[in-house]
Structure 1
Amino acid sequence: MPDTFPPNAAPGRWTALTWLAGAVVFAMAPWFSAAAVLPQLRAVWTLSDGDAAWLTLAVQLGFVLGAVVSAVLNLADRVSPRHLIVAGAILAAGANLGILLAQGPAQVIALRAMTGAAMALVYPPALKAMSTWFLTGRGVALGIMVGALTLAAALPHLANGLGGASWQAVIVITSVFALLGGVLAMQVRNGPHQYPPAVLRPAQAWRILTGRAMGLTTLGYLGHMWELYAMWAWFAVFFSRSLSERHLPDPGQGAAYATFAVVGVGAIGCYVGGVLGDRWGRTRLTALAMFLSGGCALALALAILVSASPAVVLGLSLLWGFWIIADSAQFSTIVSEIADPAYVGTALTMQLALGFTLTAGSIALVPILVSHSGWPLAFTVLAIGPLLGAVAMRQLARMPEAAQIAGGRG
């Protein structure tokens, strides 16, 4: 990768990070819109629990479909990132606005899937673009971007706790935000650490599965994703039921505030994970984060079994929320460091596609486990993913490719 500027002196890199992080958060606002208005949508269309779950799953599966198509066409390596982000933002805004005209759950679910597919043109290209601005400090930079998205994912729960706005207003506002994200993205050009140009090679989409180092990185990422979105999707339901069982007042509102805190604290975790990944090495940080995250899930299962107080449960949940996302950006950073330089965007896109495919399974599995044996079993099963992912990252640390990661720190 050409290095035309000293690693610590790429002019304007922090300005580029600010603009691009803002662009991604705004452009992906439609992703989070359904969570903000889900209670109202359930009332409008009398949605079942299954329909409500599909509103979340549809976005995940739509993203997967969009990401696979993008990876096969090598779009993130052949088209300017800012042009892809603008296209994705416009498509997401249109699909999101379509909800205003929808006649029932089936149409809303289809529109949510279209929104997810549009997001595949936003997130992976943005990660690649930011990598061109940073060599040293890249873990922190991508951590800040993922942290901003984490905070954006938490805000709908705060809105629910405060009573929220009308669902039509939320849909319109998040659509406008998406268009604003596209405008912001147009202000950011690629940085000085350019990747080589790419040509169309569909097979590159599958190379991420064949190389051992990339395969271990992906296995680690899959372990991380196994628990992340399932926890984010179901924590509000879990905590609301926990408060109800204690006969505490306003369990729904209390759960909304708690979920905002548990998801939102991950924004700090992303930054800390970036700092530690750059200083300690990414394989070490990701393994540590997943061991701690899996440990928190197991501790929470035990706390439920012994009927711990809501304060104890919330405290463990906040720790879980911190560590469950602290490693997320570091997997993308590793890919940017060890993948074929001409196809970094394709590798990032395919890794994300595989991860979000897995999230659909874990999100769907949680309510089945809960109905069968309760929340302790669900949290125990979620803990399996990060614990296995941590083992994969320890193996990656012993491979020759580790010398390319975090400036030789692995």
Structure 2
Amino acid sequence: MKTRPHILPTIIISQFACTSLWFAGNAIVDQLARKTGLGPEIIGYVLSSVQLGFIMGTLVFAFLMIADRFSPSRVFLICAILGALCNLCLLFEEISQWALLAARFGTGFFLAGIYPVGMKIAADYYERGLGRALGYLVGALVLGTAFPFLVKALSIDTNGAMVIKTTSLLAALGGCTLWLFVPNGPFRKRSKKLQLSAGPTLFKIGGFQKAAFGYFGHMWELYAFWAFTPLALQTFNAMNNKEFPVAIATFMVIAMGGVSCMLGGLLSQRFGSKKVAQSSLTVSGLFCLVSPLLFYLDPLLFMAAWCLWGMAVTADSPQFSTLVAINVPSELKGTALTLVNCIGFAISIVSIQLGSFVLKGVNPQFLFLMLALGPIIGIWQLTKKAINF
């Protein structure tokens, strides 16, 4: 069955628009710090609250099998609008620490109906070439994640309002666009009843288990790398008496990951998702191990190295999602993707908060060494047999 040509571009654009909510708070973290009185620890708090909300959302969505029991496009729309409303709460002139964290938690909760549900929608349309389709889709997510930093760099306001207004509007438009133009896919198999044992059942599938644990290793590194990249740029500036524009440089590093997701999707058509994921983990793991030395490079070489790392750290993400999706029954794809996301993002909170704790006694130059644990675990899992690709 031939898929209509507008489907994949529409999903990609909608995913980009809605996931711009993810780092909207981190892009204006300095302004939020002034409002709330929080110190440097706000970096970890703001992102971890989104991650925690996402985890709780994915738990609810997976437990109730929302994406498999109801129209994914409708779920996407509702969550996009509610996530945008939570994001708009950051515009309040006076906002307490707890209100800030609650707003970011709410945004994360409703992102659980956007990111994994978007992948579920793609899986409902593409049985063949899913690695390529998810490469584009996760690439859109990465670009959406980077987008708030670009808006901040180009904005003339000093209170971050433009970032919040732009990302909220984009999210609402993205939800409406997908709902209007992407109906339920031809390969969708609706689950007609709630299966409370679906999670434990999935982990009994060998291919799913290996793909999931590989993804967990990837997630140990990914969001901590993104969260602390602005700090790494500030540290490089301080060590070398330079003035790198942190916002635009952070956008470039994260955005390059979007490009690598798309390239990885194309390469997966020739070499397979497993090989692309394993190569990506190897390169990003090596960058973790040599990261302290990067701060002594020439500025252009430092930026080039950090951008290459930004590409490697994300290229495996859609391939792990592909491996998860093709190793489970069709009627459980949405639940499988949501469950794996839930656990993966819980792991990312641990690495982010550990990084925040380590910063109290360690020079930021050495912070990224601890992230090597993730690629090591991921590579170990991928060397095992039983993964279908």
Query: TM-score interval w.r.t. the shorter chain?
Result: over 0.9
Corresponding position of 1:83 = 74
TM-score calculated relative to the size of structure 1: 0.89
1:225 and 2:214 matched: no
1:116 and 2:116 matched: no
Residues 218-265 of structure 1: CA deviation (Å, up to 9, x unaligned): 1100111111000100011111111122122x34xx222221211111
Give the Cα–Cα distance (whole angstroms) in 2 for the partners of residues 80 and 95 of structure 1: 23
Is the contact made by 2:132 and 2:269 (CA closer than 8 Å) also made in structure 1? yes
Give the Cα–Cα distance (whole angstroms) in 2 for the partners of residues 389 and 345 of structure 1: 22
Is the contact made by 1:227 and 1:383 (CA closer than 8 Å) also made in structure 2? yes
* Deviates most, 74-83 or 98-107: 98-107
* Deviates most, 94-103 or 254-263: 94-103
Corresponding position of 2:304 = 315
Corresponding position of 1:239 = 233
Q: Identity of aligned pairs, percent?
A: 31
Is the contact made by 1:270 and 1:329 (CA closer than 8 Å) also made in structure 2? yes
Is the contact made by 1:208 and 1:350 (CA closer than 8 Å) also made in structure 2? no
1:149 and 2:138 matched: no
Corresponding position of 1:185 = 178
Q: SS of 2:302's equivalent?
A: helix
Q: Please list every run of 5 or more consecutive structure 2 residues that lacks an aligned counterpart in the other structure.
A: none
Query: Shift in Å at residue 198 of structure 1?
Result: 4.2
Opposite residue 136 of structure 1, the aligned amino acid is R
1:172 and 2:172 matched: no
Give the Cα–Cα distance (whole angstroms) in 2 for the partners of residues 114 and 196 of structure 1: 27
Corresponding position of 2:371 = 382
1:210 and 2:199 matched: no
Q: SS of 2:204's equivalent?
A: coil
Give the Cα–Cα distance (whole angstroms) in 2 for the partners of residues 209 and 355 of structure 1: 14
Q: Please list every run of 5 or more consecutive structure 1 residues that lacks an aligned counterpart in the other structure.
A: 406-410
Corresponding position of 1:54 = 45
* Aligned with 1:131 (options 91, 115, 123): 123
Opposite residue 194 of structure 1, the aligned amino acid is R
Query: Shift in Å at residue 322 of structure 1?
Result: 0.8
Is the contact made by 2:328 and 2:336 (CA closer than 8 Å) also made in structure 1? yes
Give the Cα–Cα distance (whole angstroms) in 2 for the partners of residues 295 and 328 of structure 1: 17
Give the Cα–Cα distance (whole angstroms) in 2 for the partners of residues 257 and 30 of structure 1: 18
* CA 96–139 in structure 1, closer or farther in 2 if over 3 Å, else same: same
Residues 51-86 of structure 1: CA deviation (Å, up to 9, x unaligned): 342111100000000000110111111011011101
| Equivalent pairs, count | 386
Corresponding position of 1:34 = 25
Give the Cα–Cα distance (whole angstroms) in 2 for the partners of residues 157 and 264 of structure 1: 10
Give the Cα–Cα distance (whole angstroms) in 1 for the partners of residues 19 and 46 of structure 2: 16
Corresponding position of 2:316 = 327
* Aligned with 1:93 (options 80, 84, 90): 84
Query: Shift in Å at residue 163 of structure 1?
Result: 4.8
Is the contact made by 2:21 and 2:145 (CA closer than 8 Å) also made in structure 1? no
TM-score calculated relative to the size of structure 2: 0.94
Opposite residue 326 of structure 2, the aligned amino acid is E
Opposite residue 308 of structure 2, the aligned amino acid is L
RMSD: 1.8
Give the Cα–Cα distance (whole angstroms) in 1 for the partners of residues 261 and 163 of structure 2: 27
* Deviates most, 17-26 or 351-360: 17-26
